[in-house]
């Protein structure tokens, strides 16, 4: 059974299986320890699928305009990254690839890998490892990190490329919000409970 310390007074409690909507309070000081969020798996999955569609849009529409001496050419995020790399802008290509492609992709993958089987009541190998990986990556998926990545990208890009305001940028912005909502819908106590106790 999972244990959790009260945030106010540090008293350790065991967290039992609770009905949806139930709230567990600290025995000593009455602070809320844990609240069962209704439909958390459905909401997490809904936001994840929304994120997946937005991610596809962000990758397929023009995102960057790369300047050469004569022309300015619009390109998608992925071809933009490879062209930046080809223009000796390796660090910039890595920042854009990491913040705009790899981190959201990893988060979407982990969410789907853990939550589809949970929804279908299936046991799947390595789900606990994937969920732990997800919890470790989570801080790196915060909005500030994305914004920082984009800021660095924009500042560095000003020389060689600019970001094309359009559908891809809108989709990417909405993707960040979808991921944030997906993460905030997660009831990690319930997830661990359903994934099994041996962590």
β-pairing, 72-75 vs 64-67, is antiparallel
Give a three-class secondary structure readout of 131-176. Answer: HHHHHHHHHHHCHHHHHHHHHHHHHHHHHHEEECCCHHHHHHHHHH
Is 118 strand, coil or helix?
Answer: helix
Using the rule CB under 5 A, give the single segment among 3-11, 43-51, 85-93, 119-127 that binds Zn ion: 3-11
**x/- letters, 59..98, toward Zn ion (CB under 5 A):** ----------------------------------------
Residue 28 contacts Zn ion per CB under 5 A:
yes
| Binding segment toward Zn ion, per CB under 5 A, in 11-19, 64-72, 73-81, 95-103 | 11-19
Give dist(CA 170, CA 150) in Å, integer.
13
User: How far is residue 138 CA from its own chain's centroid?
Assistant: 6
Q: Does 151 bind Zn ion (CB under 5 A)?
A: no
Q: Is 29 in the site for Zn ion (CB under 5 A)?
A: yes
Q: Interacting stretch for Zn ion, rule CB under 5 A, among 28-36, 47-55, 130-138, 156-164? A: 28-36
Binding site for Zn ion (CB under 5 A): 6, 8-9, 11, 26, 28-29, 31
């Amino acid at each position: 059974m999972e244990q959790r310390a009260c945030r106010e007074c540090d008293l350790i409690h065991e967290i039992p299986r609770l009905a949806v909507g139930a709230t567990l309070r600290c025995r000593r000081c009455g602070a809320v320890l844990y609240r069962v969020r209704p439909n958390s798996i459905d909401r997490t999955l809904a936001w994840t699928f929304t994120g997946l569609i937005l991610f596809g849009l962000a990758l397929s529409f023009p995102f960057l305009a790369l300047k050469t001496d004569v022309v300015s050419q619009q390109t998608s995020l992925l071809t933009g990254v490879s062209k930046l790399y080809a223009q000796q802008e390796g660090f910039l290509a890595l920042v854009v690839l990491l913040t705009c492609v790899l981190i959201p992709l990893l988060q979407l993958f982990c969410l789907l890998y853990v939550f589809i089987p949970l929804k279908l009541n299936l046991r799947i190998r390595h789900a606990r490892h994937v969920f732990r990986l997800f919890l470790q990556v989570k801080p790196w998926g915060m909005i500030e990190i994305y914004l920082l990545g984009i800021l660095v990208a924009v500042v560095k890009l000003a020389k060689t490329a600019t970001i094309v305001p359009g559908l891809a940028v809108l989709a990417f912005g909405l993707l960040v919000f979808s991921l944030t909502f997906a993460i905030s819908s997660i009831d990690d106590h319930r997830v661990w409970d359903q994934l099994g106790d041996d962590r």
